[in-house]
Every structure is written in structure tokens, then in C-alpha cells.
């Protein structure tokens, strides 16, 4: 009888709503929702629900006692508004209940099921139902006093990319809460040899920011079976605005995952480290069952004229950022992560799929909160987007995107070899002809009169307006580790791996761009040669912390370079005109890159600085500007504490870097 009554109610409501709704010729004609996209607003007296679905004939709100019970407590009809939204206010205290929306749209080519909506902020296990909670109750103790670590501008950033599980899952990490948000609240964790791990390792290293791989609710790991130890990077979004339960100590409790993610941010902030969230707005885990499709079919995706999905993401779909509500969603989602979780910036996955206007509006929103927040992404797509290329946030269009950065594959591949061929090396293994590409990266990919753009590998003209738009790096998560790459490029002699790693990071950390490191590079981590380890087991992805003891000299070199960069503004001038005026390249033989920085002009305590990179297997003699230079870095030591000086020229050891200064 209950089911019959429900069906009669549905039918009556359907008849009543159809006559009142406008007809739209195209999804482009849909109205834009006014105000916030918040879909659940709770108070002890009442909870208001709202979902945008302009083409629906009717929408139902289903209330559940928990995240898994089959039958709802209530199924309520929502009210339609001219801006395409549907709302319902329910009296009483619903705290602890769960909800879904059910859209009825007879014209859809998709089968529509229940959905937690597109903007669920709290979800139950596996994210199938949204939760009704008091968000203020999820704040950890002292959350209102949480402040961003002191930091003024992008030029000061040194970013460390990491995956929660990679950093802690190995038995040698000494971390109790392995693979969880709260691992970052653990201090004093050490290896058996007594070396710091976890958050203390990051503080010791000296980075200013951590970039966490996607940490919102994603689809490829079953949160009811975490004991299976399934691994994934998380580039398969489901609920963009709720933390993933796999990184919480209790995925069944919606508040736990929220509180613990906030505890992570709070702990890192207390340690002096800012937090960047990797966001993946360019595609969804799937289309048919995505929350976008289940609330408003076809609107949020780009389609070919025949209705087929675009696939610039390489994952079967691409979102349509240029549409007003998708743009609004991205901007409001980013704002939410900043305001609710105190995030300090974003890395946009496949940013080249998004349109320039959307990215500029995200930047403007961030500037209105705090101009020091970082925003950067991949300036490319995995395929051809279904949108005008001149209007996309591609690397070639970065000059249209002030305050937004992109990864520099020009210098990356000139150092270690092309992304497309794991076995081919470049400058680091002695291959000549890559010097101009490295120079281009060293000046932050700006137009510089001493860089011959005809010899740069991928770019024939400058693509940044300011050097801080260039993300300088040599490896990241979706690629071979630097260690694996070097092993694939040549048969390494004892100690050669460490030498070449030091040489590579000297280029990265003395670049005028924003330096970026991938977790474990500093202790010669490898991934057993696996290029794309997004779902590889822990045996591939976990960091073996015994490597820190074995490669402590390498770690100290990274640490020294980071401290050197922080201490000397000549390495991060932050302005294109200053770089053009005060960074000059010195004559050098093939396989060697040398340059001089005018420290005095930018207020550095070192009046003049010379940096030399020697990728050859023999020593290189490089003429110096007039004066007496002291060594800050030489023969694999940074800092170098000897009394050596150089006049007229310097002999740089094979496969190494030298940094000299005059004061």
C-alpha cells in the first residue's frame, strides 16, 4: 500500500508540474541559478534543500535514516523556481540523516537515478548519499585561530607534491595513521635509523607548500573494502566538495572525514607549510551515473554535433567550463575549499580543457580573498577539446592568464628526455643540443633576448608574461620518478644517480620559475620503472624510508638548495623586466649552461652570483666575470663550507653544478 501511495503522489505531482514549466530548445537556453549553489542548509529548526535542474518535470527529495538503508523515511516533492532550481524546506532537526535528489526528465537519453546532487559537502560511505550535518561541529579545536603561514607572493613558493598513501604506508615510515589525513598531525615519526619522516621530514626539507593529490570523494576505491588496500591517485571525481572517505579513519561517518581533513590542514599550517589541493574539474569518473548527468543531463559536458561526448581528458568525457553553471560550479567549489578548509591554492588537472575566462574568474575570486593564494595547472589536454583553442587555458595562452601558472615541459624534457620516450635521455646523460630549452626554463619561460627560441624544443615564442607562471620541475606523479628515468636512460655507475639528481634539481631550484618537487625525489625514491602508477599496488608507490639513510647526502643537497633559494632573492626575482635586466648567460661549451645574476639590483646580500650546470662526463672550464668569487655549492656539496675562491675561470666537475658568489 505504501508503494502505491508513493506512485500516486509521484504521478499527481508530475501532472501538476509539467504544465507550469517552460520549454527550452537547447541546454544553452537554461537559466542560471541565482545565489549560492549550496544544496543543503542546516539549522536545528529546519533544513532547506536546493538543486538546479531546469529541464526536469519534477524533482523529489528523499530522506534516509542512514547511508545504506534501502527505503527512505520520506519522499518529498520539491518546488520549481524560474532560475531552474528546485527547493524544499523541512521543519525539525534532521541532523544525522541523509538525502538524495531524484530528477524526472522524460526527454533524457540517460537513465536517471538518485543523486546526492552536484554540491554535496558531506557524504556517507562511497558518496552515494549526502549527509545532513552541522558543518561548524566538524571544526577541530582551535580551527577559528588557524592562520595561513606567512607568505607574500608566488615567487617565494617551493612546492612539494605528495600522495597521502605514498608518504606513510611503508612499514619504515614510523607513522601510525598510514594513508590517512591525520598522519600529518603525527610529530616525532622516524625511521629505524633515526631519520625524520612525515610532517617533520617536510619541515626539515624546507618546502613552503605541499600539493596533495586529489583528496575529494572519488570513485575507484570502495570505501567499504579498505582492507583490500586498493590504490588510486584519485583522478576519478564523484563528489567534488567532500573529502574522500578512504583517507579518513571512519568512512561511514560523514563528519569524521571532514574534521580529519581540517586537522591535516591545521597541522601543516602550524608547521609553517601551506596546502594546495589538486582539483579535477575537467572530467568525471563516468558520465551516465555522474551527479552532473543525474541532476541536469548533457548540460555539464561538451558534445559533438551527433551527441557523442568529447574526450579531451582521455577519460571518456570533458566538462564544459564555458557554460554559465559549470563555470559557477568551478568558482564556487574553489571558494568553498578556501573558506571551509582553509586551502592555500589549487593545481588544476588538464587545465587546458578549461576556458580562459573561467580560469581568470577563479583567479579573481582568489585575489578577493588573498592574493598570495596559488593557482596553476597543466597547460595542455589529453586530446583535442571541443572548444576554440585560442580561448583555452593552454600553455600557449598563458599570457592571457595573469597570476596563473603552468608546468614547463620545455625544461623538464630538456633535462631528462621526452615524456613520450622513457628510454631517451637528454642533458643529464650528456646529450647535447638542449641548452636553449634549459635557458628558457631558467628565465621562467619569458621573452629573454639571450634565449634563442628557434632552438627551444616545444615553444617557439615565450608563453609566460611573468616568470612565476612557469612551474619548473623534472618529474611529478604521472611520470617516471627521476630515479627510474635516469636508470632507463643509461647504465649508471656507483654514485652517478645521486650526482645527476643533484644536477637536475639545481636547475629546478635556481630557475626564476616556481620550483616543484615530487615526493621522494630528495631520497632517490623509485617506482620500479612504472610510468603511470595511478592504480599500481603499494609495492610500486610506497616510499621506502630506509632510502633516507642511504641517500642522506642527496637529501642534504636538496635541503641546502632550498635554503639557498629562500635566502637569496636573486633566484626568485618575480618580475620579467628584472629577469631580462639582471640575468645574463655566460659563454659555455656544448653540454654546459652558465649564467650570472645581479644580486645587488634586487637587494640580495650577494652582489653577483654565477650558476653553472655541467651535464658532460668531463670537467668544464667556464670563464667568470671580473672579480673574486666564493663557492656556495660545488662538487655535490650545498652548502659548501670550504675556503676556495675562483678568479677569471672555474673548473666544474663532470655531471655537477657550481654556484659562486661575490659580496
| Active-site residue set | 349, 378
Alpha-carbon gap, residue 61 to 85, rounded angstroms: 13
Alpha-carbon gap, residue 553 to 637, rounded angstroms: 8
Cell numbers given for 472: 619548473
| SS3 annotation, 287-334 | CCCCHHHHHCCCCCECECCCCCECCCCCCCCCECCCCHHHHHHHHHHH
Alpha-carbon gap, residue 516 to 513, rounded angstroms: 9
Alpha-carbon gap, residue 488 to 484, rounded angstroms: 6
DSSP annotation of 537? -
The residue among 417, 400, 600, 623 whose CA lies nearest residue 500 is 417
570 phi and psi angles, rounded to 5 deg: -60, -25
Contact (Cβ atoms closer than 8 angstroms) between residue 224 and residue 126: yes
Contact (Cβ atoms closer than 8 angstroms) between residue 482 and residue 416: yes
Alpha-carbon gap, residue 545 to 42, rounded angstroms: 45
589 phi and psi angles, rounded to 5 deg: -70, 165
Alpha-carbon gap, residue 354 to 221, rounded angstroms: 27
Note the Cα 509 to chain centre separation in Å: 19
Alpha-carbon gap, residue 309 to 78, rounded angstroms: 30
Contact (Cβ atoms closer than 8 angstroms) between residue 558 and residue 505: yes
Quick check: helix, strand or coil at residue 335?
A: helix
Residue 539 sits at the vertex; the CA angle it makes with 537 and 542, to the nearest 5 degrees, is 95
Contact (Cβ atoms closer than 8 angstroms) between residue 564 and residue 571: yes
Contact (Cβ atoms closer than 8 angstroms) between residue 565 and residue 506: no
Query: What is the CB-side half-sphere exposure of residue 614 using CA atoms within 13 A?
Result: 22
Contact residues for 364 (Cβ-Cβ < 8 A; gap 6+): none
Alpha-carbon gap, residue 287 to 317, rounded angstroms: 7
Cell numbers given for 250: 571512519
Alpha-carbon gap, residue 397 to 392, rounded angstroms: 7
Note the Cα 237 to chain centre separation in Å: 14
Alpha-carbon gap, residue 546 to 523, rounded angstroms: 9
Alpha-carbon gap, residue 298 to 161, rounded angstroms: 34
First to last CA, the chain: 89
Cis peptide before 49 (omega within 30 of 0): no
Contact (Cβ atoms closer than 8 angstroms) between residue 486 and residue 529: no
Amino acid at each position: 500500500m505504501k508503494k502505491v501511495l508513493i506512485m500516486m503522489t509521484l504521478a499527481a505531482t508530475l501532472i501538476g508540474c509539467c504544465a507550469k514549466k517552460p520549454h527550452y530548445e537547447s541546454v544553452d537556453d537554461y537559466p542560471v541559478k541565482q545565489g549560492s549553489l549550496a544544496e543543503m542548509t542546516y539549522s536545528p529548526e529546519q533544513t532547506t534543500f536546493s538543486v538546479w535542474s531546469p529541464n526536469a518535470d519534477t524533482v523529489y527529495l528523499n530522506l534516509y535514516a542512514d547511508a545504506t538503508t534501502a527505503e527512505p523515511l520520506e519522499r518529498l516533492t520539491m518546488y520549481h523556481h524560474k532560475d531552474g532550481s528546485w527547493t524544499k524546506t523541512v521543519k525539525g532537526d534532521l541532523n544525522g540523516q541523509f538525502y538524495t535528489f531524484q530528477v524526472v526528465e522524460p526527454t533524457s537519453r540517460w537513465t536517471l537515478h538518485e543523486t546526492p546532487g552536484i554540491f554535496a559537502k558531506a557524504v556517507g560511505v562511497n558518496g552515494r548519499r549526502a549527509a545532513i550535518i552541522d558543518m561548524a561541529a566538524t571544526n577541530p579545536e582551535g580551527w577559528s585561530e588557524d592562520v595561513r603561514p606567512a607568505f607574500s607572493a608566488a615567487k617565494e613558493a617551493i612546492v612539494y607534491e605528495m600522495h597521502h598513501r605514498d608518504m606513510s604506508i611503508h612499514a619504515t615510515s614510523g607513522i601510525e595513521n598510514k594513508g590517512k589525513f591525520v598522519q600529518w598531525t603525527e610529530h616525532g615519526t622516524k625511521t629505524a635509523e633515526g631519520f625524520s619522516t612525515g610532517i617533520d621530514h617536510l619541515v626539515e626539507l624546507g618546502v613552503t607548500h605541499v600539493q596533495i593529490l586529489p583528496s575529494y570523494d572519488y570513485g575507484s576505491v570502495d570505501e567499504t573494502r579498505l582492507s583490500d588496500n586498493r590504490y588510486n591517485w584519485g583522478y576519478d571525481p564523484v563528489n567534488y566538495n567532500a573529502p574522500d572517505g578512504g583517507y579518513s579513519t571512519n568512512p561511514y561517518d560523514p563528519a569524521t572525514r571532514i574534521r580529519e581533513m581540517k586537522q591535516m590542514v591545521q597541522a601543516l599550517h602550524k608547521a609553517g607549510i601551506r596546502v594546495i589541493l589538486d582539483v579535477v574539474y575537467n572530467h568525471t569518473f563516468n558520465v551516465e551515473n555522474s551527479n552532473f548527468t543525474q541532476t541536469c543531463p548533457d548540460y555539464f559536458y561538451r558534445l559533438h554535433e551527433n551527441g557523442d561526448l568529447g574526450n579531451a581528458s582521455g577519460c571518456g568525457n570533458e566538462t564544459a567550463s564555458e557554460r554559465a553553471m559549470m563555470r559557477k560550479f568551478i568558482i564556487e567549489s574553489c571558494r568553498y575549499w578556501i573558506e571551509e578548509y582553509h586551502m592555500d591554492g589549487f593545481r588544476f588537472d588538464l587545465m587546458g580543457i578549461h576556458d580562459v575566462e573561467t580560469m581568470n574568474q577563479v583567479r579573481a575570486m582568489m585575489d578577493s580573498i588573498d592574493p598570495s593564494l596559488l593557482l596553476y595547472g597543466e597547460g595542455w589536454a589529453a586530446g583535442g577539446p571541443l572548444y576554440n583553442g585560442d580561448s583555452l587555458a593552454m600553455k600557449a595562452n598563458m599570457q592571457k592568464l595573469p597570476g596563473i601558472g603552468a608546468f614547463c615541459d620545455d625544461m623538464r624534457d630538456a633535462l631528462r628526455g621526452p615524456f613520450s620516450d622513457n628510454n631517451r635521455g637528454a642533458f643529464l646523460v650528456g646529450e647535447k643540443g638542449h641548452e636553449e630549452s634549459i635557458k628558457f626554463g631558467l628565465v621562467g619561460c619569458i621573452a629573454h633576448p639571450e634565449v634563442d627560441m628557434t632552438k627551444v624544443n616545444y615553444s617557439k615564442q615565450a608563453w609566460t608574461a611573468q616568470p612565476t607562471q612557469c612551474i619548473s620541475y623534472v618529474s611529478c606523479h604521472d611520470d617516471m620518478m627521476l630515479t627510474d628515468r635516469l636508470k632507463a636512460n643509461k647504465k649508471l655507475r656507483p654514485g652517478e644517480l645521486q650526482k645527476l639528481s643533484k644536477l637536475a634539481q639545481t636547475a629546478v631550484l635556481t630557475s626564476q620559475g616556481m620550483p616543484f618537487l615530487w615526493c621522494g625525489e630528495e631520497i632517490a625514491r623509485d617506482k620500479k620503472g612504472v610510468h603511470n602508477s595511478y592504480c599500481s599496488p603499494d609495492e610500486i608507490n610506497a616510499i621506502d624510508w630506509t632510502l633516507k639513510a642511504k641517500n642522506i647526502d642527496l637529501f642534504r643537497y636538496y635541503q641546502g638548495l632550498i635554503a639557498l633559494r629562500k635566502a637569496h632573492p636573486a633566484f626568485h626575482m618575480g618580475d620579467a623586466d628584472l629577469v631580462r635586466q639582471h640575468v645574463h648567460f655566460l659563454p659555455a661549451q656544448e653540454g654546459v649552461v652558465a649564467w650570472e645574476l645581479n644580486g645587488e639590483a634586487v637587494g640580495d646580500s650577494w652582489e653577483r652570483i654565477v650558476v653553472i650546470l655541467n651535464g658532460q662526463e668531463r670537467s668544464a672550464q667556464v670563464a667568470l666575470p671580473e672579480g673574486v668569487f666564493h663557492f656556495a655549492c660545488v662538487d655535490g656539496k650545498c652548502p659548501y663550507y670550504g675556503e676556495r675562491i675562483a678568479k677569471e675561470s672555474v673548473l666544474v666537475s663532470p655531471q655537477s653544478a657550481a654556484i659562486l658568489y661575490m659580496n
